[in-house]
Structure 1
């Protein structure tokens, strides 16, 4: 049986091949993908098919859905990463989905979860801070969507800190 995680307003489920066309639409928004280092722009139909196949095979990734509509993606492998469609910004969906995924992550024997955000991405900074992540260095990366060098603020959440917040 395929794993499904239900929160108050969302359903997190594994990606399906039929998600490709919706991904194609959502990830063709430069306002969204400029904050993701690995997503190209423009985003092509072949990219969405490759993404779905890769997420299903290699990563602990889930589609974020609201009322059965795909609105984003979240993963805890190899680190906490996420994005949601611009129409879903500012509604607390990323925080809600992240809490569910972090709780799931720490039910294993793992002790630390990493994440990061582009310096200047105040939305992600606020979400990760609210979840208890602490700064843990910085590194440079190239944002594939804009071909610009960016600074990534690395952050770390320890199991003991997560459990203390619950």
Structure 2
């Protein structure tokens, strides 16, 4: 699967992308905000990731930014299945590309793929100490579920508090936002 946005191309990774991937992902600030990425992240990790089989309903795409006359790998975005079988959105952007809206733009493209595949609900979470990711999720139409849970972070070596979000299929009924519930009577 491929996707093209105004400034980005999202595509499956190839083993030839491994050096660029290792450079883009090889930052502790990236790995500590993802659940599965190891730290330190080396060329062998990139090669192993790129050799993993892809499932049609869980695309894992590299994000390339069109900058000037060039194109460079700036991140990754995709869907994966949680242990409970739910579709979860994940994304990361290399630090020197933060603050440009690439995470939102790339995740929008992945969610458009999810909508095309008629995936009825996509969940996501962010570690409590990464509020920027929460802002991205809200821009994408995710609603906080009101739940906080421990999520595994391979780079941090354990469980980290994370806030949970959910988003329904575009064009479908909106998922309720627990913040909209009336206050409980005393």
Q: TM-score range by the shorter chain?
A: 0.7 to 0.9
Task: Verify the 8 A CA contact 2:122 2:168 in the aligned structure 1.
Answer: yes
Other-structure match for 2:126:
117
Equivalent residues in 2 for 1:10-159 (5 A)?
10-54=8-52, 56-58=53-55, 59-67=58-66, 68-78=71-81, 79-136=88-145, 137-159=147-169
Shift of 1:115: 0.9
Q: 1:162 to 1:32 in 2, by over 3 A?
A: farther
Task: Verify the 8 A CA contact 2:80 2:89 in the aligned structure 1.
Answer: yes
| CA deviation string 1:40-68 (max 9, x = no partner) | 111122111111112x4344111100122
Provide the aligned C-alpha RMSD in A.
1.9
Structure 2 residue runs without a partner (length 5+): 82-87, 175-186
* TM score, norm. by length of structure 2: 0.79
Q: Which has the larger radius of gyration?
A: 2
Shift of 1:163: 7.9
Displacement over 3 Å in runs of 4+: 160-164
| CA deviation string 1:92-151 (max 9, x = no partner) | 011111112112211223211111111121110000011111122222133221225311
* TM score, norm. by length of structure 1: 0.88
CA distance in structure 2 between the aligned counterparts of 1:153 and 1:110, rounded to whole angstroms: 22
Equivalent residues in 2 for 1:155-166 (5 A)?
155-159=165-169
CA distance in structure 2 between the aligned counterparts of 1:129 and 1:162, rounded to whole angstroms: 17
Identify, as 1 or 2, the structure richer in helix.
Answer: 1
Q: What number of residue pairs does the alignment pair up?
A: 161
CA distance in structure 2 between the aligned counterparts of 1:45 and 1:82, rounded to whole angstroms: 19
Q: 1:7 to 1:135 in 2, by over 3 A?
A: same
